[in-house]
Structure 1
Amino acid sequence: MATKPKKIKKILLTQPNYAWLSKRTWQFPPYTLCLLKACVGRMAETVVYDPNFGNVSEEEAVKFLKTTSPDLVGITSVSTEYIEVTRHTVALVRKHLPNAVIVLGGVIPTVMPEEAVKDGNADYWILGEGELSFPALVEKLQKGVEDLSGINGLAWRRGGELLFNKSEFIPDLDKIPFPDYSNISGLTLRDYGNIRGKYTPWLVARNYPTAVTITSRGCPYRCVFCAGKTVTGDKVRFRSAENVLAEIDSLCAQGTKEIIFLDDHFLADRNRAVKIMKGIIKKHPGLTWKCANVTVWLLDEKLLRLMRKSGCDSLFISIESGVQRILKEVIHKPIHLEKIPPILRLAKSLGFKIVSSFVIGFPGETWDEIRQTFAFSEKLEVDMVTFHIATPLPKTELMDICLRDGLLPKGHLENISKHAGYGKGFITTKDFTPFELEVVRSFEWDRINFSSGEKKKAIAAICGITAEELEDWRVNTRRSLGVNSLVKNILSSPAK
């Protein structure tokens, strides 16, 4: 059955400026939006617009919307923390482009579909991966096809009925084209690549311009706090080494000097990872790279030496807890703590900078066990330690436990954006309160990391900030017991 085809000649792909509602803003290449642009191809003129670049105001964004006047607007969001600003952005688009088709995708409709579809300003929602679903929707709308039941992961209305199509993961990632970075609203990949990351160590590069990519999707582990199995699946799907190296060729041709791999599990297929590293050594010997997360139990001397030789000098390792019982019985992460110190000492001896991450405040964790995690982290020979407070996200086991046991404040789901941020606590058990977690997290982070002038200097360099910015960060963290007061300081500045 068909209806009158919709005029979709121009598409705008965008995301909120997360700072519009006093959240942290993220200024790195809009990878997923440019990926969708490549998938749409010649079906329509497609413009990518990222108001995070330069911290664009709402007024400026509205002016751009009106000037561009797209027929369809695709909006994404990176985390449930940003649900309010995402709704705000959808409403902004609807107000100023009343006749445009609005499609919402990304993490929010994927892990919070029931909440996402309450927004009457959107016309369609894509749950899960959108690289095939989004162009399929565009094509059917252009042709006037009424039955959209065959589009993977689409939520849509038929008459007054709201329908959810089954969502399946894309099996062959090599079939997805590389991101199209041409004309990001007049910007280039190099413009983004020259932004100096601040505060978040894995975004602080050694060489600029930088670029990001994702070479695999999914994770086989079942960490209690992670929604990854819903977003990308519980089995790892890999792009081939040849496909990854071809993208690296393309990025380097555009001037990239450092690449950040955003995979959940880059090292899951050791042979593939080795091929990629050897390919970098052979074709791009001056390129540097890093992973946003390294699976520590897969590291050994041979692999570490190859990583260093191929241009990696930083390790970001999520250990989560310094208590074996918590890792095994609560978090479900296959780490053996006794094996961690030797491998990190080896990595340090090879010249790696190491940042380790821990999470406190799980149901079933005692106050003494929280203290043991701080003690364990302090003994590690690493350059910086970060601490987060356990945050129950939708579609996670942690959320299920908290709801079952009544550990969350009233109206939590409706106000999730006020709680998320990983420096704020909101789980209450017989062992701790949110306020206690915030206090101990804030002051132990400060005590362990900044015990000497030498450590302060090293951490400032790792985080891409000045000594003055570091001191402001410490003061703000102590006084706010969280992260959101740093919005003004987290904005990145162009590289010189």
Structure 2
Amino acid sequence: MKVLLGLPNQLIRLDGMKARPAVSPPLGVLSIAAYLRESDWQGTIEIYDARLGATFRREADYWLFGDSDERIEARIRAAAPDVIGISNLFSSQIDRAYRFAELAKRAAPNATVVIGGPHVSVFPLEAIAHPAIDYAVIGEGEERFTQLLLALQRGDTAPKIQGVIATPADLELLRSNPRAPVGFTDPLDSLPLPAYDLVDMPRYFALARKGLSPRFREWGKRPISMLTSRGCPHKCVFCSIQTTMGYKFRAHSPEYTRRHIRHLVDKYGVDFIHFEDDNLVHDTGRYDEIIDFMSTFQPRIKWDTPNGVRGDAWTLDRARRAKASGCQFLTVAIESGVQRVLDDIVRKRLDLARVDDMMRYCRQVGLRLHAFYIIGFPGETLADIRATVDYALDRYRRYGVVPMLQPLIPIPGTDVYDQIANEGWHEGTIATEYNQVKTADFDPATLQAIYRDYLRKRLLIFALRSLTVPKELLYNLKLILKYPGGAYYALRNALRANG
């Protein structure tokens, strides 16, 4: 049996500093492939990442990045797989995944097509209703996909595996909790290291050096993203992580993590690590051990936390050690500058006073800090929204904490998405895009006006800090030179705010 694990090409919209594709080794697919190789399943594995073609094509009001449909179909036909597994990380890209499935069935009509990822985990019936898709896999894929392949290998096309959906009846095997309908791998150390040898690592590194790095503000020549933990015990209304990774915090041990990092550095020359964990500092003792290990490298392996960390786990010593170990910046997930909104609406157990402490610690040790904010939650008032904008800009002025503020994106599989849908707080259909909410307190037009005003003020603070703080000027010039396209669109959006 031959398995082809595929990643579709990418839909790109030119919007601010994110106006670029982000390409990195596919962590989930590599973990599935590694697990397969160590299982009882017999067969061969090929990974095809359609993004690596790195070509751009204009399609109406968006761009497609990666191989053309013709190229994708030809690659699948040449591979002649028996099973095709499709990975899709974002609801905004689900149409590309479904198109990949159509091309897969056309190129290999007798192959079994399986799809997984967060969107499919929330809408499995939508996925299997597609004529090109045979199975949908919910949640983590290592064990379920392997069990499915073992079943297919013995001729069982209707296996009863929790989280493997071929018909509506298979939903009966799921747990009653819609946010965590399946079980999850535990302990995580039972998983082998990802199968990096099955992909063209130098190609990913080359694209990163051209500005197509896995994350924005990335300064390495051989960067990579990695996860050292999964799951989140917190219940923020906008986050869908529990659907794919569960509520329980599960972490690789410090020993496993050290081995993983050492493998990346020794075998692939990795010089920058993006720790993508949702809860890197949830277990502060484990985090401290990882940072101690990062401090052993000479020269330092640079690292950051682009997915956000908690703001209440920091001490001055912890910030100092992060800086000394090679950390280039931290991103703190604040969400709102109003404590009532955090407590009652976002349901994020976070004390803003502790966040201010973190900001002071980072400024004291010279560690760059970014912050996530979201405006437009149902239940917020205009005063709440404006207070969050003021909080974000004030902390930018006072502490240099770079704000990354955006209107709410309703993500399928979240409480806020269900709330918006059930209450009818939207116009037309709910898209997985910014600024979809309409309540008695605000509507998209009002929120857009506030957001534009924020962009204008943020640009002014950016310019002032660049002119008055020499290290900021050097950093920002470096940023603009590395991401000229993104800088252009960010400036354009800010200037449009004046109109």
**Do Structure 1 and Structure 2 share a fold, with TM-score over 0.5?**
yes
1:257 and 2:271 matched: yes
On the 8 A contact 2:359/2:401 being kept in 1, the answer is: no
Shift in Å, 1:16: 1.5
Question: Which residue of the partner structure matches residue 491 of structure 1?
Answer: none
Question: Which residue of the partner structure matches residue 387 of structure 1?
Answer: 405
SS in 2 for 1:298: coil
| CA distance in structure 1 between the partners assigned to 2:149 and 2:212 by the alignment | 39
1:274 and 2:274 matched: no
Map 1:310-389 → 2, pairs under 5 A: 310-380=325-395, 381-389=399-407
Question: Which residue of the partner structure matches residue 35 of structure 2?
Answer: 39
SS in 1 for 2:355: helix
SS in 1 for 2:490: helix
Shift in Å, 1:440: 2.1
Change (3 A) 1:468 1:81: closer
| CA distance in structure 1 between the partners assigned to 2:13 and 2:390 by the alignment | 37
On the 8 A contact 1:356/1:385 being kept in 2, the answer is: yes
Q: Which whole-Å deviations, capped at 9, do the CAs of 1:317-356 have from their partners, x for residues lacking one? A: 1111111111111001122223323321220221211111
Question: Which residue of the partner structure matches residue 416 of structure 1?
Answer: none
| CA distance in structure 2 between the partners assigned to 1:97 and 1:288 by the alignment | 43
Unmatched runs of 5 consecutive residues or more in structure 2? 55-65, 175-181, 467-472
| CA distance in structure 1 between the partners assigned to 2:243 and 2:278 by the alignment | 13
On the 8 A contact 1:384/1:449 being kept in 2, the answer is: no
| CA distance in structure 2 between the partners assigned to 1:126 and 1:140 by the alignment | 14
SS in 2 for 1:420: coil
Change (3 A) 1:275 1:469: closer
On the 8 A contact 1:104/1:126 being kept in 2, the answer is: yes
Question: Which residue of the partner structure matches residue 486 of structure 1?
Answer: none
Give the residue type in structure 2 aligned to 1:127. I
Residue among 433, 437, 448 paired with 1:438: 448
SS in 2 for 1:19: strand
1:248 and 2:261 matched: yes
Give the residue type in structure 2 aligned to 1:155. I
Question: Which residue of the partner structure matches residue 463 of structure 2?
Answer: 453
Residue among 208, 215, 234 paired with 1:221: 234
| CA distance in structure 1 between the partners assigned to 2:232 and 2:24 by the alignment | 24
- What's the TM-score once normalised by structure 1's chain length? 0.86
Shift in Å, 1:119: 1.4
SS in 1 for 2:312: helix
| CA distance in structure 1 between the partners assigned to 2:457 and 2:92 by the alignment | 28
Q: RMSD in angstroms over aligned alpha carbons?
A: 2.6
On the 8 A contact 1:18/1:26 being kept in 2, the answer is: no
On the 8 A contact 1:71/1:99 being kept in 2, the answer is: yes
Shift in Å, 1:163: 5.1
Question: Which residue of the partner structure matches residue 429 of structure 2?
Answer: 411
Change (3 A) 1:466 1:104: closer
Shift in Å, 1:74: 0.3
1:291 and 2:311 matched: no
| CA distance in structure 1 between the partners assigned to 2:297 and 2:106 by the alignment | 50
1:13 and 2:10 matched: no
| CA distance in structure 1 between the partners assigned to 2:480 and 2:386 by the alignment | 26
On the 8 A contact 1:105/1:126 being kept in 2, the answer is: yes
Shift in Å, 1:358: 0.6
Shift in Å, 1:311: 1.4
Change (3 A) 1:478 1:434: farther
Unmatched runs of 5 consecutive residues or more in structure 1? 1-7, 413-418, 482-496
Residue among 187, 204, 218 paired with 2:217: 204
| CA distance in structure 1 between the partners assigned to 2:189 and 2:325 by the alignment | 23
Question: Which residue of the partner structure matches residue 420 of structure 1?
Answer: 432
SS in 2 for 1:344: helix
- What's the TM-score once normalised by structure 2's chain length? 0.85
Shift in Å, 1:162: 5.3
Change (3 A) 1:57 1:467: closer
